[in-house]
Amino acid sequence: MKFEVSDSSVAQVVILPVFVEDLPKLSNDGKTVRKDRLLPHVGARHGVTWINAPAEDEPDLLILGMGEEAKFKPYMMQEAAGNASRALQKEQRSSAVVTFEALGSRKILSGCMPAVIAAWVEGSLLGTYSFHKYKSSVAEQAETTIIFKSTAGAAWKEAIRVGQIRAEGTMWARDLTNEPPNGLRPRDLAERTAERFAGTKAQVAIYEEPDLEHLGFAGLTAVGRGSIHPPVFIEVRYCTDETKPLIALIGKGVTFDTGGISLKRDNDISDMRMDMAGAAAVLGALDILVRSGAEANVAVLVPSAENSPSDRALLPGEVIRYANGVTVQVGNTDSEGRLILADALIYAHRIGAKQAIDLATLTYSVVGALGSKVAAVLGDDELADALQTSGEPSGERLWQMPLVDEYEAYMHSDYADACNISSVGEAGVITSSLFLRKFVHPSLKWTHIDMNGPKESASCTGEFAVGATGFGARMLAHYVTNLS
C-alpha cells in the first residue's frame, strides 16, 4: 500500500467517510447517491458501502460509516481506514482518493488534519496486515495507492511518515506474537531484536547462562530450566536524552506456556504461543521510538523463557531466592509470568530506572473481568492515568483496578516469604499484581498492565486482522514521546 499527497484527485475510487448525521445531506444531492440506497446502515460504525459510478470514466464511491458524531473517538478514523483499505484490496482497486469533505466543517477535524492523515495511514496498513509467512501460496495483491487531496504537501507527507512508523512498529509486534512456538524460541526473540535494531541508536544486550545466574535472575533461570531452548534476558537501551528520567519498559516473554509441571489441561493451548505479547509490545514501542528519532531515555527489558515440563523442570514446592532477598515458594509452575517479571523489576531499579511499566499476558481472570477489548492497569495512580490517556489515540483501552492490601495474605507460604499463587480463588488480577509489587523498590514508580484480553482479535474488523493485535506498542511509544 502506497500513500501520496496530491492536488489532483484522479483515482478509481473516491473514499468518503461519513457520520450518520451526514446521510440526509448526501442524499439530497440525488445525483451521486440515491437516498433509498444509503439508509439505514451506511453511516453506522463499520459500514462499508460501494456505489458504482454511473459512467465508466467516473470513480466509484466507497462510503465509510463512522457512527454518530457524538460518539466519535479519534481511533475510529483508523478503524474506518482499515475497513476501507480491506475493501479496496478485496475488489483489487489500485488507486483511491480519500476525501474528508463530508466531515469538513466538523470540530473534530479542525486544526488536526495531519493527525487524521496519520491515523488513516496507520489504520490502512494495520487493517490490511496478514501473517502468511507459513502459507505456501498467497493470492497476488495489486498495490493500492491512497491519495490525500491537498496542496499542503510537506505537513501531510510528514503525517504519512508518522502513520507508517506507528503501523510498522505495531505490525512487527504482531509478527512476533503470531509466530508459532517452533518459529520463536527465546533465542529467536533475542536474535530478531538484535537484527531489528542493528545500525540504530538502540543498544541491544542479550544475556544467557551463566550471565543470568551472575545477574541474579533467579526466577528466569528457574522457569527456563525445563526446556531444551534456554532462557534469555534481553536488554535494549535507547538513550538519546539522558536529562530525562530512565523509563524501564518490561515485557513478559514466555514463548510458549505449557504450564510446566503444573501442566495446562485445556483442550487447545495453542494460544500460549502468544504468551510473549507483552515482550512484543515493549519491543514494538521501542521500534516506533527509534524510527521516529524520539528524544527519550528508555530501557526495554524482556525476560524470555519457554515454560516446559521435563525431568529438570521447576517443581511445585521449590523455593526461589531473588536478588532483592525475597524468597518465593512455587505453588504452581503455571504462574511463571510473575516469577520472571520479578527479576526484571528488581533489575529496573538496579540500572537506575525511575519508572517501570510492565506488560504481560499474566492471568485468565483479567479476560473474565474486562473482556477482550480492555487491559487492566494496576499500580501508581498518576502513571496509570497517563498511560490510559496515551492509549486513547490508538484505541488501546486500559481500566485501573485496585491493589487491595488485604489480599496480600492470600499468598502466604509456610516455607518462604510468599507463594506465587493465591490460596483464595478470587481477584486473580489483583493478587498477581500484589505479587509483582514485592519486587518493586519503593523509589520506583510502577504500573503493571495485564493485556491478556486485547492481545488478540477474533475477527478481521477495523484495524484488526485475526490474530495478534500488537496491543500496547503505540500506547507506550506515545507515553514515552510525550514525557518531559
By the criterion CB under 6 A, which residues form the site for ligand BES? Answer: 257, 271, 275, 332, 334-337, 361-365, 421, 428, 452
Shorter beta-carbon distance to Zn ion: residue 181 or 462? 181
Instruction: List the grid coordinates of 457.
Output: 482479535
To the query of whether residue 86 is one of the catalytic residues in this protein, the response is no
Q: Measured at the alpha carbon of residue 98, what is the angle toward residues 97 and 103, in degrees to the nearest 5?
A: 150
Shorter beta-carbon distance to Zn ion: residue 104 or 317? 317
Q: How far is the CB of 204 from Zn ion (least distance, A)?
A: 24
Q: How far is the CB of 218 from ligand BES (least distance, A)?
A: 18
Q: How far is the CB of 351 from Zn ion (least distance, A)?
A: 25
Cβ-based neighbour number of residue 47 at 10 Å: 19
Query: Helices marked H in 229-377 — which ranges?
Result: 277-291, 336-350, 365-370
Q: How far is the CB of 400 from Zn ion (least distance, A)?
A: 22
- The active-site residue, picked from 73, 161, 192, 264, is 264
Q: How far is the CB of 362 from ligand BES (least distance, A)?
A: 6
334, 343, 380, 463: which one binds Zn ion (CB under 5 A): 334
- The active-site residue, picked from 93, 338, 397, 474, is 338
- Residue in this structure with the C-alpha cell 516473554, named with its chain if needed: 253
Contact partner, 429, from ligand BES, Zn ion, none, Cβ < 5-8 Å per class: none
Please give the DSSP secondary-structure letter assigned to residue 246.
P
**CA quadruple 407, 448, 330, 228: dihedral, nearest 10:** 170
450 counts as binding Zn ion under rule CB under 5 A: no
Cβ-based neighbour number of residue 285 at 10 Å: 30
- What are the angstrom distances between the C-alpha of 9 and each of 13, 147, 245, 363? 10, 7, 47, 50
User: 113-127 and 75-90 are packed helices; what angle lies between their axes, rounded to 10 degrees?
Assistant: 50
Q: Which stretch binds Zn ion (CB under 5 A): 13-21, 114-122, 165-173, 250-258?
A: 250-258
Q: Do strands 327-329 and 355-360 pair parallel, antiparallel, or not at all (unpaired)?
A: unpaired
Measured in degrees and rounded to the nearest 5, phi and psi for residue 468 equal: -65, 145
3-state helix, strand, coil in the chain (%, to 5): 40, 20, 40
Q: Is 409 exposed, middle or buried (0-12, 13-18, 19+ CB in 10 A)?
A: exposed
Shorter beta-carbon distance to ligand BES: residue 72 or 399? 399
Contact partner, 332, from ligand BES, Zn ion, none, Cβ < 5-8 Å per class: ligand BES
231 counts as binding Zn ion under rule CB under 5 A: no
**CA quadruple 369, 372, 378, 380: dihedral, nearest 10:** -140
Q: How far is the CB of 359 from Zn ion (least distance, A)?
A: 13
Q: Measured at the alpha carbon of residue 90, what is the angle toward residues 88 and 96, in degrees to the nearest 5?
A: 10
To the query of whether residue 338 is one of the catalytic residues in this protein, the response is yes
Interatomic CA distance for residues 346 and 443, integer angstroms? 12
Please give the DSSP secondary-structure letter assigned to residue 374.
E
Shorter beta-carbon distance to ligand BES: residue 353 or 468? 468
Give the residue from 175, 26, 287, 454 showing the smallest Cα distance to 47: 26
Contact partner, 391, from ligand BES, Zn ion, none, Cβ < 5-8 Å per class: none
Q: Which helix (H) or strand (E) holds 257?
A: strand 253-257
Residue number of the CB atom closest to ligand BES = 363
Shorter beta-carbon distance to Zn ion: residue 114 or 230? 230
Contact partner, 271, from Zn ion, ligand BES, none, Cβ < 5-8 Å per class: ligand BES
Shorter beta-carbon distance to ligand BES: residue 144 or 177? 177
Q: How far is the CB of 73 from ligand BES (least distance, A)?
A: 27
Contact partner, 452, from Zn ion, ligand BES, none, Cβ < 5-8 Å per class: ligand BES
Q: How far is the CB of 264 from ligand BES (least distance, A)?
A: 7
Q: Which stretch binds Zn ion (CB under 5 A): 8-16, 220-228, 267-275, 377-385?
A: 267-275
17, 337, 393, 428: which one binds Zn ion (CB under 5 A): 337
Interatomic CA distance for residues 153 and 236, integer angstroms? 36
Contact partner, 421, from ligand BES, Zn ion, none, Cβ < 5-8 Å per class: ligand BES
Shorter beta-carbon distance to ligand BES: residue 339 or 483? 339
79, 275, 396, 456: which one binds Zn ion (CB under 5 A): 275
Q: Which stretch binds Zn ion (CB under 5 A): 12-20, 183-191, 327-335, 392-400?
A: 327-335
- Residue in this structure with the C-alpha cell 530506572, named with its chain if needed: 353
257 counts as binding Zn ion under rule CB under 5 A: yes
- Residue in this structure with the C-alpha cell 520463536, named with its chain if needed: 184
Shorter beta-carbon distance to ligand BES: residue 52 or 459? 459
Interatomic CA distance for residues 400 and 377, integer angstroms? 5
Q: Is 317 exposed, middle or buried (0-12, 13-18, 19+ CB in 10 A)?
A: exposed
Q: Which residues are catalytic?
A: 264, 338
Can you give the binding site for Zn ion, defined by CB under 5 A?
254, 257, 275, 334, 337
